Amino acid sequence: MVDLTVVILTKNEEKNLRKCIESFHGVAKRFVIVDSGSTDGTEMLCQQLNNELNTIGASLNFYVHHWTSYADQLNWGLENTGITTEWAMRMDADEELLEDLAREIDEKLDKLQEPVNGVILRRRTIFMGKWIRHGGRYPELLLRIFRTGKARCEMKIMDEHMILSEGTMVTFEYDLMDNNQKDLDWWTSKHNWYSNREVLDHQLSREGDALQDEGGSSKQARIKRIIKNSGYYKLPKFFRAHLYYLYRYWIRLGFLDGTEGRIYHFLQAYWYRFLVDAKMYQCEKTGTKMKPQGDLKV
């Protein structure tokens, strides 16, 4: 068992949380759940999981904290739940470790010596049960494991990353996966919520109010942000959503992922990206600013 605490944010994650916890195969010493007001069986499930983890010398602690933003929620969990382990980790409830990654964490993490203070993990996206391997979606490289107190989530409204305050990073070989068990109705509702956050984040960036990446995240994450802000958003509204689809589905071979890949890339471009542009257009036409978003209501 590794000297590791895993912080997970939840809101109605009864369908996802067990598989997330069980994917660690007993590797992590402690799990911290920061909940923003679940109305399903999430809290009861956490009690059951804690009892099960206690039998192997691990634990799971459940906290409730009022939602203001993802970054604030995560940083609150990192700073206010008494984390004493050498390492901490950010996980989403709909993510899980592949067995090879759990084994790699168990074998390598405690052996890392300073100045290595962060570990970048490779993430794969599962959509409607299909691994979206093409279209430039894999691998997504994310700083997820870090020495306790050496990283925090940047205070951005959208696409917030963990930022390492000091030291260097290494990249592990195996994958975690985003494998949400909720349906397409939930997916579209979530991305409607995301689109509001995206518009507000862009408005704040143009006003100079949004914090910038200080360089302590993965190189891939920094490059993606530069391309989005200095490239994609310089293109004409609506037309850029069309280019996004052509790039992901045809140039980056998204069609190789079959029907699920077609649905995924079409929705990402013509549902999500087009919707962001429509809301930007509406705000500009009416001279309004997007309101801050609460937590997801589904």
Looking at residue 192, its pLDDT comes to: 95
pLDDT at 186 over 50: yes
pTM of the model: 0.91
Confidence of residue 50 (pLDDT cuts 50, 70, 90): very high
User: What is the pLDDT averaged over residues 185-190?
Assistant: 93
| pLDDT for position 297 | 74
In this predicted structure, what is the pLDDT of residue 95?
97
SS (H, E, C) the chain: CEEEEEEEEECCCCCCHHHHHHCCCCCEEEEEEEECCCCCCHHHHHHHHHHHHHCCCCEEEEEECCCCCHHHHHHHHHHHCCCCCCEEEEEECCEEECHHHHHHHHHHHHHCCCCEEEEEEEEEEEECCEECCCCCCCCEEEEEEEECCCEEECCCCCCCCEEECCCEEEEEEEEEEECCCCCHHHHHHHHHHHHHHHHHHHHHHHHCCCCCCCCCCCHHHHHHHHHHHHCHHHCCCCHHHHHHHHHHHHHCCHHHHHHHHHHHHHHHHHHHHHHHHHHHHHHHHHCCCCCCCCCCCC
How many whole angstroms separate alpha carbon 86 and alpha carbon 109?
10
CB 28, CB 91: distance < 8 Å = no
More confident residue, 66 or 221: 66
DSSP 158: S
Q: What is the mean pLDDT of the chain?
A: 93
When pLDDT is averaged across residues 20-32 and rounded to a whole number, the result is 98
Higher pLDDT, 214 or 30: 30
Is the pLDDT reported for residue 212 higher than 60?
Answer: no
β-bridge pairing 151-153 and 168-178: unpaired
Helix residue ranges, H only, 119-246: 184-207, 219-230, 239-245
For residue 214, pLDDT beyond 60: no
The predicted pLDDT at position 208 comes to 63
- For residue 237, give the amino acid letter: K
- pLDDT (0 to 100) of residue 210: 44
Element (H, E) at 32: strand 28-35
Residue pLDDT, tens place only, 82-129: 999 999 999 999 999 999 999 999 999 999 999 999 999 999 999 999
